[in-house]
Amino acid sequence: MRIDEFLSKNGYSKCTVEHGIYVKGTSHNRLCIVCLYVDDLLITGSSKDEVKKLTSLLSSEFDMTNLGGLKYFLGLEFTKTSSGMLIHQRKYASDILKRFNMMDCNPANTPMETASNLNADDEGKSVNSTHYKQMVGSLRYACNSRPDICHSVGIVSRFMQSPKLSHMQAVKRILRYLQGTIDYGVLYTKTDENQKKLVDYCDSDWSGDKVERRSTMGYIFTLFNFPISWSSKKQSVVALSTCEAEYISAWNAVCQGIWLLALLQEMKIDIEQVVELMVDNKSAINLAKNPIAHGRSKHIETKFHFLRDQVTKGKIKMTYCNTEKQMADVLTKPLKIDRFKDLRRMMNVQSLETLN
């Protein structure tokens, strides 16, 4: 019998939006959640008795090893500190640096230079594409606990087909930053349970890609004021204005927000069923609230108006956010040192060394 069949037989329901998660019970009565990835299991819940019961049942049916409290799962490390739980990838980051001979490099303050303007660089010196892809691929997995490097890793990922020396230097800059922040991760502490709201900070630059003139959009979702999901990617179309670029960015965030709401609901997490979008562009907010397709929005693809539909239905609440408090800014463009560190602190990315 397979593990998923065994869990279903014992009363666990598979989440319809995320098939690797199984849930039994309610948020207030013997809740137990199982995260399954191939043959690795993560079991948690509100009832220690239910967790022990499931562990015992699994041990009697399968040849398995109970590793005790959560410390390591799929490359992520979980370290309890006096301030809370820090999710980091110190060992993985160390392995990356050793693999690419960057362990003794000089650390950098930011993952990308402020004036960086990477392009195809057709006349530049070519580098080993396989080696380049290995470096970028390794860095992409490090983004699972490091939202502060998502933008820079996304930028260098665009040149994997024909990497040049300038692109390799940008990748090494990220590794130098990683070397100086090797024990950094996202800190989760005890918080006010009354703050049961899913909040998203979404942002976009405008025509940041000088090759295709496309914009870079990013979002970071917080629950109980702590980041739980983040992304930085290039838009699929060319935006004709900052308003349109921000509008498309908000659409991208809404798609993720609707999925997160459905997942949290199936996991019996009691939160408000409205996603609050923090946007620093008033024109984009007005465009989402206005049901009339006027001249400024006639050319926008129909799929992006899914945002307007969700706002009209009341599932999405768009709120103006001052640019200084826009956390997603770090996911769309290279920033100066002070601004970068402020946003890193706002995302609760902290050093394990300072917490111990």
**107 and 198 housed in the same domain:** no
| Residue 288: strand pairing partners | none
Strand boundaries in 65-165, DSSP class E: 72-73, 76-80, 85-88
**64 and 119 housed in the same domain:** no
The CA distance from 294 to 300, in Å, is 11
> Domain total for the chain?
3
**103 and 177 housed in the same domain:** yes
Q: What is the mean pLDDT of residues 207-229?
A: 91
Q: CA end-to-end span of the chain, whole Å?
A: 44
The CATH number of residue 214's host domain is 3.30.420.10
**153 and 259 housed in the same domain:** no
Residue 178 lies in a domain: yes
Residue 293 pLDDT class (50, 70, 90 cuts): low
**233 and 156 housed in the same domain:** no
Contacts of 332 (CB under 8 A, 6+ apart): 151, 203, 204, 205, 208, 216, 217, 218, 232
Contacts of 23 (CB under 8 A, 6+ apart): 12, 13, 15, 31, 32, 33, 34, 266, 267, 268
Q: What is the mean pLDDT of residues 170-177?
A: 96
Look at residues 300, 221, 285 and name the one whose alpha carbon lies nearest to residue 255. Answer: 221
Q: Please give the residue that has the higher pLDDT: either 253 or 296.
A: 253
**268 and 284 housed in the same domain:** yes
| Torsion (CA) 16, 17, 20, 21 in degrees, nearest 10 | -70
**238 and 308 housed in the same domain:** yes
Of the residues 42, 69, 96, the one at which a domain ends: 69
Of the residues 40, 69, 98, the one at which a domain ends: 69
Q: pLDDT tens-digit profile of 13-58?
A: 999 999 899 998 876 778 889 998 888 889 988 888 888 888 888 8
Domain that holds residue 197: 192-321
Burial 229-253 (b: 16+ CB within 10 A, else e): bbbbbebeeebeebbbbbbbbbbbb
**241 and 150 housed in the same domain:** no
Sheet hosting strand 184-188, strand order edge to edge: 72-73, 76-80, 85-88, 184-188, 349-351
Judge contact between 284 and 241, C-beta under 8 A: no
Q: pLDDT tens-digit profile of 156-165?
A: 999 999 999 9
